[in-house]
Structure 1
Amino acid sequence: MPDTDLAPRRRGRPASTSPDGGAEVQSLDRAIHLLRILAEADGMSLTDVARRAELPASTTHRLLATLQKRQLVNHDAETGLWTVGLGLFRIGAAYLRIRKLPDIGRPVIRRLLHDADETVNLSMFDGAELVVVGQAEGHASVRAFFRLGQRLPLHATAAGKSILAAAGPAFRGALLAQVRYEPLGVRTHRTERALMDDIAQIIERGYAVDNEEHTTGMRAVAAAIYNEWREPIGAVSVSGPSGRMTDDRVARLGRLITAAADQMTRLYSGADETLPPDFATYR
């Protein structure tokens, strides 16, 4: 009686045994590489593109011609230069429609919670205030807490002050004109002069500190998050009781928070699609 193979059949196309995943995958990878090269320049000759890609000119031309059919690249017959095309803009515009900072920032704030061991908040700029849109809560019995959706003032929070420091002079002036300087904590800034002195220090060191300005007994560190036009859209912050947030620890957290904000800026703006590094490197 012949042997019968009772193993279930696998569905779908068999996996490629080629080391590079197959010719089709290799061509796709090369085409994406060409798009990245063109995206960094205002126009490049075929020779320059091929040299940067480390590919033969014939292969480079074949890939560019295919991309041109899909309007992903353009070729100027008069100058001979290749540039990114309108089709690539449409793809990028689709990302702009669907991107959401809370989703993009989730892995970053989780990593930051692990490295900072204090509550991490993600807030977005809305009018003359901030709105808390994401949070990774610390595990200590005494910890800082903001509820999701809570609105925060610009003048009395580390996140808000980081936005003011990141804004251009004209925009900052418009925002400051709306500040009412309401006392919230024992050290809330009560005048524009005091706030501007603080903003100057924030610009110099790269991150903001809330020293019991929003809530008595609590301190926070924050840095602004930018869009692709280098406009502040939000901030990431770490907050905790003043007893744990010593000056030395605030300085260490400042390095962590700026690294996290920079990573979220890259992810949001599309400049970097990689997940965050271990922020402990920046301690």
Structure 2
Amino acid sequence: MQDAVTTTRRRGRPSASGGAEGGGEVQSLDRAIALLEVLALSDGMTLSEVARRAELPTSTVHRLLTTLERRGLVGHEAETGHWMVGLGLFRIGSAYLRIRKLPEIARALIRELSHGVNETVNLSLIDGPHLICVAQVESHAAVRAFFRIGGDLPIHASGGGKAILAAMSVEARRAWLGDDQLKRFTEHTHVSRRALQVDLASISERGFSIDDEEHTPGMRCVAAAVLDEWREPVGALSISAPVVRMPPERIADLGIRVREAAQRLTTRYSGL
């Protein structure tokens, strides 16, 4: 009875002590993943090049690559001898594209950014001529910026909207803005497309936008675009605060913070 108890374990789980065979399987898996990472950085490599980059024996690399080839995860050109990532790897990776949701991926990051600057941070997506707030972490300050989740802002008169416009191609930008006169919300709103285009050029250069009371008097915002794998904007991160807490001398620092956070979110979302 004692022997039965000590040898019983949950089905599908390895024994606590592991074993040489189990450890070898894990090591082989780790090495195979390393080879895929090496191949992903190139359009094609010879066996010796892969082995050198992975710092593994050529015989080991050949054995692993052959196994991966049978599963369609890598390909091999007999004419050149080059190894490369295979179509099967794309099929596996594309599964992530089906299930990824930007608000969920951004949740921890926007909380971290808000706590770091003690201001309200928003994640917004573009919908026609409007910017829709889809996630938010509010500042704990007594006077703070607030935008209702699901609420919309005009794309030409908001920090997030302008950051997205600046990241678009000229053709896409023209399609989003249309040909009508831009609506005025405050005395600072860009109502001519020429003035807006000048602002967008500056945004492209510094990597973040500035909403200087262009929609709501007394409120400022800095924002940066989040990109997909084709380097097209899918949303924007923004930091909003009353003018008294976002004076000109603080705008640059907050702009850099939101730009860096948007770059991190871009990497998490699309791998760029």
| Corresponding residue number in structure 2 for 1:215 | 216
Q: Unaligned 5+ residue runs, structure 1?
A: 1-6, 272-283
Matches within 5 A, 1:183-194: 183-194=184-195
Q: Please state how far the C-alpha of 1:14 moved relative to its aligned partner.
A: 2.9
Q: Unaligned 5+ residue runs, structure 2?
A: 1-5
| Corresponding residue number in structure 2 for 1:94 | 95
| In 2, Cα distance between equivalents of 1:258 and 1:78 | 45
**Structure 1 residues 178 and 115, CA gap change in structure 2 (3 angstroms):** farther
Structure with the higher fraction of residues in helix conformation: 2
Which letter does structure 2 place at the counterpart of 1:110?
R
Determine what percentage of the aligned residue pairs are the same residue.
57
Structure 1 stretches of at least 4 aligned residues deviating more than 6 Å after TM superposition = none
| In 2, Cα distance between equivalents of 1:65 and 1:156 | 56
| In 2, Cα distance between equivalents of 1:43 and 1:146 | 49
Correspondence 1:84 to 2:77? no
Contact 1:128 1:178 in 2 (8 A): no
| In 2, Cα distance between equivalents of 1:35 and 1:113 | 37
Per the alignment, in what secondary structure is the counterpart of residue 155 of structure 1? helix
Deviations 1:164-217 (A, max 9, x none): 111112222222325642222341112112211211221221110000111111
Q: Please state how far the C-alpha of 1:10 moved relative to its aligned partner.
A: 6.9
| Corresponding residue number in structure 1 for 2:153 | 152
Per the alignment, in what secondary structure is the counterpart of residue 136 of structure 2? strand
| In 2, Cα distance between equivalents of 1:216 and 1:18 | 68
Per the alignment, in what secondary structure is the counterpart of residue 241 of structure 2? strand
| Corresponding residue number in structure 2 for 1:111 | 112
| Corresponding residue number in structure 2 for 1:230 | 231
| In 2, Cα distance between equivalents of 1:18 and 1:140 | 56
Matches within 5 A, 1:1-283: 11=10, 12-16=13-17, 22-177=23-178, 180-271=181-272
| In 1, Cα distance between equivalents of 2:84 and 2:28 | 19
Q: Please state how far the C-alpha of 1:128 moved relative to its aligned partner.
A: 3.1
Per the alignment, in what secondary structure is the counterpart of residue 184 of structure 1? coil
Which letter does structure 1 place at the counterpart of 2:216?
T
Q: Please state how far the C-alpha of 1:16 moved relative to its aligned partner.
A: 4.9
Size of the aligned set, in residue pairs, is 265
| Corresponding residue number in structure 2 for 1:3 | none
**Structure 1 residues 77 and 245, CA gap change in structure 2 (3 angstroms):** same
Contact 2:186 2:217 in 1 (8 A): yes
Contact 2:181 2:192 in 1 (8 A): no
**Structure 1 residues 105 and 262, CA gap change in structure 2 (3 angstroms):** same
Q: Please state how far the C-alpha of 1:58 moved relative to its aligned partner.
A: 0.5
Which letter does structure 1 place at the counterpart of 2:242?
P
Q: Please state how far the C-alpha of 1:142 moved relative to its aligned partner.
A: 1.1
Deviations 1:70-113 (A, max 9, x none): 11011112221111111101111111111110011111101101
Which letter does structure 2 place at the counterpart of 1:105?
A
Contact 1:120 1:238 in 2 (8 A): yes
Q: Please state how far the C-alpha of 1:15 moved relative to its aligned partner.
A: 3.6
TM-score (norm 2): 0.91
TM-score (norm 1): 0.88
Which letter does structure 2 place at the counterpart of 1:95?
Y
Q: Which moved more, 1:209-218 or 1:70-79?
A: 70-79
